[in-house]
Amino acid sequence: MIIRLLNLKLYQQHAMNLMYQEVLLMIRKTLMRRISTMKKESFQKLVLTGVFAALSYVVFTFLQIKIPLPGGDATSIHLGNAVCVLGALLIGGFYGGLGGAIGMTIGDLLDPVYIVYAPKTFLLKLCIGLITGLVAHKIGRISIETDKKKVLKWTILASVAGLLFNVIFDPLIGYFYKLLILGKPAAELTLAWNVTATSINAVTSTIVSVLIYMALRPALKKAGLFFTLSKEKND
């Protein structure tokens, strides 16, 4: 009787050990799949960051309307910010903003008129992406939202938020940057022109980025190339 009880206890312990090992194996496999997926997504986002950087450079450099200003300065009408916003909507605020910032900063560095503004450009364009991504994915949760009207609403709000930041801070930072750092006496004269150009860019970029995102969204989902950038509401 005692031997039977001992054998039964050993059998139970063995079964528990096997069950414990199975659970650990399942957890390990799940974690490995998750890590593999995260690595794959991170690599894809890095590649797309490069794509958006190249696209923003081309759009900003070759499709702009440059307006000469007093003191050898200039401002421009362009859609570079639309690429920055679109990147934030598709691959996240940081990666999208980084792509737009890199592309337009390179454009500044290769232009003798804009080269002195390269640091300002990088900072502002990165912020456009971060703000757009924050509103779109953290607040609006557009990547998991299924209601098309809500997706459109938050896409517009996110684009407006990012570009409104630029409308306010691009001319403002530009003014102090010219006055205090570059020592340009014509800073006051160019401020009004910069506000006007930045406002036009914001309106056109909002329209373009929203239209392109809403058009690409279903196609990317169908192709399995759509990134889920938002967490579920109960997370």
| pLDDT confidence of residue 10 | 57
Both tokens of 142, joined, read 């557009």
Query: What pLDDT does 235 receive?
Result: 41
pLDDT values of the chain reduced to their tens digit, one per residue, 235 residues: 555 554 555 555 655 656 656 655 665 565 566 555 556 678 888 899 999 999 999 999 999 998 887 766 778 999 999 999 999 999 999 999 999 999 999 999 999 888 988 999 999 999 999 999 999 999 999 999 989 999 999 999 999 999 999 999 999 988 887 777 666 666 677 788 889 999 999 999 999 999 999 999 999 888 877 887 766 554 4
Give the pLDDT of residue 19: 64
Q: What is the pLDDT of residue 228?
A: 77
- Are 202 and 164 in contact by the 8 Å Cβ rule? The answer is yes
Ordered structural domains, the chain, with CATH? 47-223 (1.10.1760.20)
pLDDT tens, residue by residue, 49-97: 999 999 999 999 999 998 887 766 778 999 999 999 999 999 999 999 9
pLDDT of residue 234: 47
**CA angle at residue 221 from 217 to 227, to 5 degrees?**
85
Model confidence pTM above 0.75 = yes
